[in-house]
Amino acid sequence: MGKFMVLDHPLIQHKLTMIRQKDCGTKVFREVVNEISMLMAYEVSRDLPLEDIEIETPLTKTVQKTLSGKKVAVIPILRAGLGMVDGILQLIPAAKVGHVGMYRDHDTLEPIEYFVKLPSDIADRQLFVVDPMLATGGSAVAAIDALISRGAQPSAIKFVCLVAAPEGVAVLRSAHPGIDIYTACLDERLNDDSYIMPGLGDAGDRLFGTK
């Protein structure tokens, strides 16, 4: 079974409280989503493998650690996942970025795929799939299905969100039990419209100012 981790560092909790507030405007919302994503990337990348390399300091030769193994790709689920990319790239600047476009039909709540563009070596990469909201779990499951059907290795996928509903966590775990899930907070529940409560509203609209 994959990990389920709530990254509740005080800085993350403080920043999440800022963006939950309805008066938080687009500029601050965008900046703080990026900051939280950067802080989360520190933990999400904790088990990246290291190898020894020999280097020379100004004083001597020495064997030290460097990142090895699979290179990383960040995969935002459009649109709202885009808001998390730059923060992660600040810590892992060489990562490639693939895009999966998925929106939730307002009536059926079913995820609709409308765009997929991935690095060609997706099968050889460690993948961080990012989306601020894990609500019913439909979008996350469909996005991960889209990656696996195009060659991604399930064991190389981690899902990273800011706010998760228990219902979405259960759906994602049941569809993809081996995938690690990282969230900044596990909220209480979904409401009748499948919005996360207390949540932060519609993350895409708040990021891009479309409402």
Catalytic residues: 104, 108, 202, 205
Q: Would you tell me how many other CB atoms lie within 10 Å of the CB of residue 49?
A: 10
- Tokens 């889209």, residue? 146
Q: Which amino acid is at 41?
A: A
Residue closer to ligand URA, measured from CB, 75 or 196 = 196
If you search the block for the tokens 């596990």, which residue do you land on?
Answer: 186
Dist. CA 46–CA 90, nearest whole Å: 15
Say which residue the tokens 């706010």 belong to: 163
Smaller CB separation from ligand PRP, 131 or 180: 131
Query: Is there binding between residue 135 and ligand URA (CB under 6 A)?
Result: yes
Q: How far is the CB of 2 from ligand PRP (least distance, A)?
A: 17
Contact letters for ligand PRP, residues 62-101 (x by CB under 6 A): ---------------xxxx---------------------
Cα separation values, 146 from 3, 52, 151, Å: 21, 35, 9
Q: CB count, 10 Å around CB of 205?
A: 13
129 near ligand PRP, rule: CB under 6 A: no
The site map against ligand URA for 52-91 (x = CB under 6 A) is ----------------------------x-----------
Q: Are 131 and 172 in contact (CB under 8 A)?
A: no
Do the beta carbons of residue 127 and residue 121 sit within 8 Å?
no
* Interaction between residue 195 and ligand URA (CB under 6 A): yes
Q: Which positions lie near ligand PRP, rule CB under 6 A?
A: 77-80, 102-104, 109, 111, 131-140, 168, 194, 202-204
Q: Which positions lie near ligand URA, rule CB under 6 A?
A: 80, 133, 135, 195-196, 199, 202-204
